Amino acid sequence: MTLSRSLLLAAAILAPLASVVAQDSTKGIDQGVRVGITYSPGVRPGLVVIPGAGLDSARALVQRDLDFSDRFEMMVLPPTTGLPSDAFRPGLAPPPLNYPLYRTLGASYGVELAAGPGGTLVRVHDVTAGTVRKEATVPLPDPADPSFRLAVHRLSDEIVRWISGTPGIAASRLALVIDRRVWRIDSDGGDLAPVTGTTEEALSPAWSPDGRKIAFTLFSGGRGSIVVLDLGSNARATVPSTNQFLNLTPMFSPDGHTLAFARSSEEGTDIYTADVSQMCCVQRLTVGRYADNLNPTYAPDGRRLAFVSTRTGLPQIYAMAADGTDQEVLAPSDFGVTGSSNAPEWSPDGARVVFHREVDRSPQLFLLDVAGSRVRQLTSAGRNEDPTWAPDGRHLAFVSDRSGRRQLWVIDVESGRIRQLNTPGNARLPAWSRRLAGSSLTN
Amino acid sequence: MRHLSRSLVGFAALLVVAACGGKNAPEQPAPQATPTNTTDDAAARRARQDSIDAAARARADADARARADAEARARSDAAGGRAALLEAITSKIHFDYDKADIRSDDNGALDRKAAILAKNSGLRLKIAGNADERGSDEYNLALGNRRGAAAKRYLTSKGVDAARLEVVSYGEEKPVNPGHDEGAYQDNRRDDFEITAGGDNLVQP
């Protein structure tokens, strides 16, 4: 939609003779410039990022972050050619915004960035009302500074909060596995960096809720211990009792004090918890008796866990209390009919659990509505698996081979929009962090 | 051979001593110099005995050589046998999709392993379960574990001490066949058997 809108604008401005193809064009255009777009934006307000002098990297990042939030109809203005003259005047103080123009273009909001004496001036314009809705001066690091990207992402998230009431998800990261090594990547696909080393094998990364730690399975000789790595200090701690056997699928509790994980031994695979604040106190939650139980995920209130169990044959999604009691089916399945279900993750708002389930031998993403026990299929093309929730509870990252190799993709559950996170090699086992905290930007 | 030539040299020296009446080579070992009138007869007898001894030594050497050849042949036969034993121990078994049941046509292979384990009490194995690349990566680690545990349970049910068998899982992380077709998947759904101790002097069951 964005591309066609910019084409429409270009057509309207540069080709006055053409009749504008729009929802509601009834007359040809004989003369002058006529901008006659009637567009029903649905539930998404139109947003334009106002071009300006300098701050190109920041502005480009903000534009992309606002686009990726999927909350706005992003309007892409063509470059300086043919623009109304008051939108871009290098070296001069920005004039009051031409609200009527932007109103006719369909924008509800305008975002302006300009270099100021105290930092970067950020203005959010309410185009409909014709006023500045919010203004702040934000200190941004130099674009060459390693902290620049995350600082701009936090700014984008604040802008989303000013407009919609909910912060964006730009200042968050995904942990992922490429070639049995854990990496992390910004939510927009930038700044890929390794977390584990080249001489070790690691799988199953999981973020602590405060974003300061990553837990993963350190894999060696068919066994695996669970390591909690502090990203700031690079210190590592091995979860007690995980030095033996194969320990996998770690997941932090919402308060960060407990780590749930699975252990595979000759008895089978069962779920345990450990206190990771004190690195002690390991407890067993499931007793498999030749059924496997793994892949625990906490509900946001910390009182229940969803997990995978093979107790009826194929793996399916179950739930239990945080102490292992009250085990029950969570995602309904028909014995002998429903395919294997795996990799559950409870949504940040507690209302849904996402997982993948085999349909015709290919895994597809499914959403379970916890209250109503209803299951909805989200994908159908290719193999789609290992979903993880963004902190806004409406975006999911997952692994898909739809492009020919296993890659990370992001889907917006509400609009259906899908984008790809480009990584080298085969990416898998993604885990999305919460919003990464930083110093407060504005008051 | 060396013994024979030395004996010949010694024999020749004795002949020289006998011929020269014991005048040179005072460092000759016994027999000691004897009175000249009986020397010729005694020397001749000694010479005869020495040659008999030398011939006996030569025969003994030849026998030893023949024995050594026979032993080498026996060892190489055992080496061929050893290769067969190693093959029987480390042969892989395979599984159906998403299953950890031992297939009935793998029973024979596991029975052979059990027999070798029974005969070689120091032998210890590591059983590594594996899965094909389909299905959840993490679930495949648990599935591989189940496959390794299934083979261990079979072997312990045949009397193998559980302490001699270790189970690990590689999930889908270590395929033997990098392909993406059903043939590759079949190759990868397997248990690997690796000797961790006691594999040096294997005895046929």
Q: What is the DSSP code string of A340-409?
A: PEEEEEE-TTSSEEEEEEEETTEEEEEEEETTTTEEEE---SS-EEEEEE-TTSSEEEEEE-TTSS-EEE
C-alpha to C-alpha distance for A273 and A379, rounded to whole angstroms: 33
Q: Which residue in A has a C-alpha nearest to residue B192's C-alpha?
A: A222
- Separation in Å, CA A424 to CA A177, A427, A428: 11, 8, 11
Give B126 to chain A, closest Cα distance, Å: 10
Interface test with A, best of B138, B152, B160 (most A CBs within 10 A): B138
SS3 B195: strand
Q: Which chain A residues are within 8 Å of B161, Cβ to Cβ? A: none
Confidence (pLDDT) at B41: 84
Confidence (pLDDT) at A83: 42
Whether A31 is covered by a domain: the verdict is: no
Give B76 to chain A, closest Cα distance, Å: 34
Domain stop point among A145, A164, A183: A164
Nearest-CB residue to A292 (from B134, B142, B170): B142
**Close Cβ partners of A261 (under 8 Å, ≥ 6 residues apart):** A226, A239, A242, A247, A248, A249, A250, A251, A271, A272, A273, A274, A296
Q: Which residue in A has a C-alpha nearest to residue B128's C-alpha?
A: A222
Interface test with B, best of A269, A341, A359, A405 (most B CBs within 10 A): A269
Nearest-CB residue to B139 (from A201, A265, A294): A294
Confidence (pLDDT) at B26: 47
SS3 A58: helix
State both tokens at A441.
Answer: 């930007």
CATH number of the domain residue A200 falls in: 2.120.10.30
Residue A288 and residue A369 share a domain: yes
For residue range A11-38, what is the model confidence (pLDDT) as tens digits?
455 444 434 333 333 444 444 554 444 4
Q: Is A292 on the interface with B (CB under 8 A)?
A: yes
Tell me the residue ranges of DSSP E strands in chain B. 93-94, 124-130, 165-171, 190-197
Chain B positions with Cβ closer than 8 Å to A: 98, 126, 128, 134-139, 141-143, 145-146, 148-149, 152, 167-170, 173
Whether A8 is covered by a domain: the verdict is: no
For residue range A50-94, what is the model confidence (pLDDT) as tens digits?
988 889 999 999 999 999 999 999 997 765 533 444 444 445 555
C-alpha to C-alpha distance for A47 and A62, rounded to whole angstroms: 12
Whether A200 is covered by a domain: the verdict is: yes
Give B184 to chain A, closest Cα distance, Å: 16
Q: Which chain B residues are within 8 Å of A265, Cβ to Cβ? A: 145, 167
User: Which domains does chain B possess?
Assistant: 2-81 (no CATH), 91-197 (3.30.1330.60)
Q: Do B142 and A264 touch (CB under 8 A)?
A: yes
Instruction: Calculate the CA A255 to chain-centre distance.
Output: 21
Residue A300 and residue A325 share a domain: yes
| Cis check: omega of the bond before A45, within 30 degrees of 0 | no
* CA neighbours closer than 13 Å in the CB half-sphere of residue B133: 17
Residue A210 and residue A154 share a domain: no
Q: Do B173 and A266 touch (CB under 8 A)?
A: no
Q: Do A204 and B138 touch (CB under 8 A)?
A: yes
Q: Do A265 and B152 touch (CB under 8 A)?
A: no
Q: Which chain A residues are within 8 Å of B175, Cβ to Cβ? A: none
Residue A212 and residue A120 share a domain: no
Phi, psi of B80, deg, nearest 5: -60, -40
Has residue A439 got a pLDDT over 70? Answer: no
C-alpha to C-alpha distance for A156 and B45, rounded to whole angstroms: 118
Residue A203 and residue A124 share a domain: no
Q: Which of residues 400-429 of A touch B (CB under 8 A)?
A: 428-429
Report the alpha-carbon angle A241-A245-A251, nearest 5.
Answer: 65
For residue range A136-145, what is the model confidence (pLDDT) as tens digits?
999 999 999 9
Residue A201 and residue A67 share a domain: no
Domain stop point among A136, A164, A192: A164
Residue A131 and residue A277 share a domain: no
SS3 A117: coil
Residue A193 and residue A125 share a domain: no
Q: Is A397 on the interface with B (CB under 8 A)?
A: no
Residue A149 and residue A242 share a domain: no
State both tokens at B128.
Answer: 């590594």
Counting Cβ atoms within 10 Å, is residue A261 exposed (0-12), middle (13-18) or buried (19+)? buried
C-alpha to C-alpha distance for A70 and A187, rounded to whole angstroms: 13
Q: Which chain B residues are within 8 Å of A356, Cβ to Cβ? A: 136
Q: Do A292 and B128 touch (CB under 8 A)?
A: no
Q: Which residue in A has a C-alpha nearest to residue B163's C-alpha?
A: A266
Whether A296 is covered by a domain: the verdict is: yes
Counting DSSP H helices and E strands in chain A, the numbers are 4, 29
Nearest-CB residue to A295 (from B98, B138, B145): B138
Domain count along chain A: 2
Q: Do B146 and A363 touch (CB under 8 A)?
A: no
Instruction: Give A268's DSSP letter.
Output: E
Domain stop point among A164, A188, A221: A164
Task: Determine contact, residues A209/A255, Cβ cutoff 8 Å.
Answer: yes
Confidence (pLDDT) at A123: 93
Q: Do A340 and B135 touch (CB under 8 A)?
A: yes
| Amino acid type, B176 | V
C-alpha to C-alpha distance for A161 and A66, rounded to whole angstroms: 11
- Separation in Å, CA A63 to CA A96, A360, A440: 21, 40, 21
To the question of pTM greater than 0.90 for the whole model, the response is no
Residue A355 and residue A268 share a domain: yes
Nearest-CB residue to B168 (from A201, A221, A340): A221
C-alpha to C-alpha distance for B88 and A162, rounded to whole angstroms: 71
| Helix B137-157 × helix B107-119 angle, to 10° | 60
Which parts of A117-196 fold into alpha helices (H)?
Answer: 148-164
Residue A211 and residue A156 share a domain: no
Whether A110 is covered by a domain: the verdict is: yes
Mean pLDDT of A413-431: 93
Mean pLDDT of A253-264: 98
Better-predicted residue by pLDDT, A34 or A119: A119
Confidence (pLDDT) at A347: 98
| Helix A56-68 × helix A148-164 angle, to 10° | 50
Instruction: Calculate the CA A384 to chain-centre distance.
Output: 16
> What's the domain range around A121?
41-164
**Close Cβ partners of A14 (under 8 Å, ≥ 6 residues apart):** A82
For residue range A303-328, what is the model confidence (pLDDT) as tens digits?
999 999 999 999 999 999 999 999 99
Task: Determine contact, residues A142/A93, Cβ cutoff 8 Å.
Answer: no
For residue range A199-214, what is the model confidence (pLDDT) as tens digits?
999 999 999 999 999 9
C-alpha to C-alpha distance for A203 and B41, rounded to whole angstroms: 95
Give A268 to chain B, closest Cα distance, Å: 6
**Close Cβ partners of A400 (under 8 Å, ≥ 6 residues apart):** A379, A382, A383, A384, A385, A406, A407, A409
Confidence (pLDDT) at B21: 46
N residues, chain B: 205
Assembly ipTM: 0.84
Whether A319 is covered by a domain: the verdict is: yes
Residue A280 and residue A220 share a domain: yes
| Amino acid type, A122 | V
Confidence (pLDDT) at B8: 52
Q: Is A248 on the interface with B (CB under 8 A)?
A: yes
Instruction: Give A22's DSSP letter.
Output: S
Q: Do A343 and B152 touch (CB under 8 A)?
A: no
Which residue stretches of chain B have pLDDT < 50? 4, 10-13, 16-18, 20-26, 28-30, 32-35
CATH number of the domain residue A69 falls in: 3.40.50.10070
